Amino acid sequence: MRTYLLNRLWQSAVTLVLATVVVFAGVRALPGDPALAFAGEERDPAAIAAIREDLGLNDSVLVQYWRFVTAAVQGDLGTSTRTGIPVAEMIGVALPVTIELALLALLVAIVLGVAAGVVAAVRRGRPAEWLANGLALLGLSVPNFWLGLVGILYLSVGLGLFPASGFVPFGQDPVATCTTSCCPRWCWARASRRS
Amino acid sequence: MALTTAVSRAGAGLRRTGVIIAAAVALAACAPVQQAAGPATGPAPDSFGTPADPAAVQAGGTLTIALSAEPDMLDPTLSRSLYSRYVFHTMCEKLYDLDQDTAIVPQLATALPTISADGLTVTIPVREGVRFGDGTPFDAAAVVTSLQRHLTMSGSGRRSELGPVTAVEAQGPSTVVIRLSSPFAPLTAALADRAGMVMSPAALAQLGDDFATAPVCVGPFRFENRVAQNSIDVVRDPNYYDAARVHLDRITYRIITDASIRAANLQSGDAQVGDSLSTQDTPALRTTPGITMLESNRLGYQGVTFNIGNVAGQGNPWGDVGTPLANDARVRQAFELSIDREGLVRTVWGGIYSVACSPISPDTDFTSEAAQACTPHDPARARELLQAAGVQVPYPIRMITSNNPDSLRLAQALQALVADGGFDLQIVPTEYSALLDQQDRGDFEMLQLGWSGRIDPDNNIANYLRSDGGSNVAGYSDPALDALLDRARTSTDHAERVRLYGDVVAAIQTADPIIYLYRERNLTGVTDASRGCRCSRTASCGWRSRA
């Protein structure tokens, strides 16, 4: 068991290292000059040179990679070049929301999916099974971004049942969570897909 | 549902800048906005919004604005994206502002600058008794600190906008003196943009390069919170010098990149303002009860640029590209003659955008008849010119263009149009950053891109067409045009500048290194629940506009 775990451990370490290499090299393999894209409309040569210096683009790729890895190991994921906000902070804000949404979506999916499965099993060969299977197939086939858009149009704009966007934490107000974040946009699409 | 209230900042604006007439014009212009049923046939009259009736204004509440793109750094020195202006608009006042007629009016300054006879010393009187969002006092020294930061900070996006500034000093608490090495007329206009925003020296001392994480300026609202890729919140600032007239408690900028979702949020009432709505949604929104569309021209343009002499990339001497398209102005003139701008705008943008024939915005006071001269659509004449130039017809041109759906639709319409004039346009869709790279290296024959525009014509032309312009990717060099641009830049006589820019446009249209096609319009939807929203041409909407 211990050797198994150790084996797994070094294999994951190699995977992680390879992942950093791929991410790092992949970004640099993209066409175009990052300093140029970053400068946008205001790109006189002096500004571009300053951006290169700031981003450390003048150093060799190996030096840049080493800097990226050493900082990441120490928990410093850098700051967003676009907004100037530390990346770790951005993840810290977004991750709990993502997890909450995923759990709630899973809950809805399980309830609807199990219910549909039970109906299909109990009413085997009857119209109810066809309906359940048909809905499941539809949910699987329809792209969820489209379903989300249609949901917004009919449920928010048309019927005014839900807000069209936004998020309220579950702990703060469970009902609002359901109406703002879960039902209209994400869960409907996900739930249908999983059902 | 978010709480919504109406707000009015109009009273202050009217008194201070005397734009009652302008407001009346806007009021008149508002009525026809709702009429257009069926396909639009032309741009709607400009409408910037009307002031709310002060009696109907309710205090408090949150306003939600659906923004089309995420602003970049909320740091006036480092910001490079136009969207940051939307947010700065409510929290960072500038030395100067623009009114509805795009005229420059004082904001944190108390009067327009006094320029010495030799044009080298610019004196700006600034407000007294004003405090920053953190409660620290605003004075001339704070203005100097901000300007110095714009001038010296590494990565500053403001350095080039400020021109040949050699020194900035405070004389007493309420006078700022800027010294120049040569006269520079566009300076005042630059101070009506991000370069004129004044940051709190205390916040700068504390945050340094990380100012963007908690920016502090003078404004009706102050920064509260930002969730990347999601929202930015600003709250009412009790320190603001005119706080009694600020009625909202909070403004939430919600970033919603999809235009249809923005429109949906507007229709469902989740957002009270939606910016940059699509031309496809606009006709329906114009007729939707409860929503008013505010429409006005942007200051910039969209156009095509030819490679005239950029053989070895920017920074290297211009050379001979060796094609008739680069060397014979007649071929480029023929291209312009083949373009039916009205038809182009109608086909691609439903007639909602306006045509553009020159880099000078018709909405600024730098415009003139000469500056708006337009080459007519005449494909027969185009073919004659091609024949006279002795080139192969149809003449093949490869155009690189950004690979987004809108740019491609434009390219295809252009391709169909110029075929009549004797051109075979080949479209090469290119990823945006690769396109920027190619244009700087000179690896293109023709490209389609635009410029967001500034108030002063110098910022819209010199950078692109002066021999030593920072973005002169065409590799264009005409000593006569350079001389004209220099005279126009250094002249401090407005009438003379207007006349000179008319000559500049004539010179550009003769050589056609850039062909201007159309101007985008700000398409902002506002729900009736939030009366009093005003928009300015620089793509910023809010409750602070003086106009």
Contact A157 B268 (CB under 8 A): yes
Q: B75: domain range?
A: 1-91+219-297+522-547
Q: Are B373 and B479 in a shared domain?
A: yes
How far is the C-alpha of A52 from the C-alpha of A141, rounded, in Å? 46
Q: Are residues B286 and B427 in the same domain?
A: no
Do residue B210 and residue B224 come from a single domain?
no
**Touching B: A residues 60-79, CB under 8 Å:** none
Amino acid code (one letter) for B331: V
Same domain, B113 and B97: yes
Residues B128 and B249 in one domain: no
Same domain, B100 and B196: yes
- Those residues whose C-beta lies under 8 Å from the C-beta of residue B365, and which sit 6 or more positions away, are B101, B102, B103, B494, B498
Distance from C-alpha of A51 to C-alpha of A53, rounded to nearest angstrom: 5
**Residue B173 sits in the same domain as residue B138:** yes
Contact criterion met (CB < 8 Å) for A152 and B160: no
Nearest chain A alpha carbon to B154: A50
Q: Are residues B225 and B309 in the same domain?
A: no
Domain boundary pick from B217, B240, B269: B217
Considering only CB atoms, A39 lies closest to which of B80, B229, B269, namely B80
Q: Show pLDDT as tens, one digit a residue, over chain B (547 residues).
A: 333 333 333 333 333 333 222 332 232 222 222 333 334 446 777 777 766 655 556 667 888 999 988 888 899 998 877 788 889 989 999 999 988 778 899 999 999 999 999 999 999 999 999 999 999 999 999 999 999 999 998 878 888 889 899 999 999 999 999 999 999 989 999 999 999 999 999 999 999 988 999 999 999 999 999 988 889 999 999 999 988 888 889 999 999 888 888 998 888 888 999 988 999 889 999 998 889 898 888 889 999 999 999 998 887 889 999 999 999 999 999 999 999 999 999 999 999 999 999 999 998 889 999 999 999 999 999 999 999 999 999 999 999 999 888 899 999 999 999 999 999 999 999 988 888 888 888 999 999 999 988 888 998 999 899 998 888 999 999 999 999 999 999 988 899 999 999 999 999 999 999 999 999 998 999 888 766 555 555 545 444 333 2
Q: Which residues of A touch B73 (CB under 8 A)?
A: 82-84
Q: Which residue on chain A is closest to B81 by alpha carbon?
A: A40
Per-residue CA distances from B15 to B10, B12, B27, B540, B547 (Å): 9, 5, 17, 22, 10
Same domain, B226 and B187: no
**B217, B242, B268 - which closes a domain:** B217
How does pLDDT run across A174-185, given as a tens digit for each residue?
Answer: 555 555 444 443
B90 in Cβ contact with B221 (< 8 Å): yes
Which residues contact residue B223 at a Cβ distance below 8 angstroms, ignoring those fewer than 6 apart? B74, B91, B133, B214, B215, B216, B232, B233, B234
Cβ separation of A93 and B227 shorter than 8 Å? yes
The CATH number linked to B148 is 3.90.76.10
Co-location of B475 and B537 in the same domain: no
Phi and psi (nearest 5°) for B442? 80, 20
Check whether residue B141 and residue B268 sit in a common domain: no
Among B159, B190, B217, residue at a domain's last position: B217
Of the partner residues A85, A160, A166, the one whose CB lies closest to the CB of residue B226: A85
Q: Are residues B343 and B258 in the same domain?
A: no
Domain count, chain B: 3
CATH at residue B26 = 3.40.190.10
Mutate to test the interface with B, among A41, A147, A149 (most CBs of B within 10 A): A41
CATH number of B332's domain: 3.10.105.10
CB-nearest to A149 from B260, B314, B432 is B260
Q: In whole angstroms, what is the distance from residue B76 CA to residue B84 CA?
A: 9
3-state secondary structure of B14: helix
Contact state of B314 with A166 under an 8 Å Cβ cutoff: no
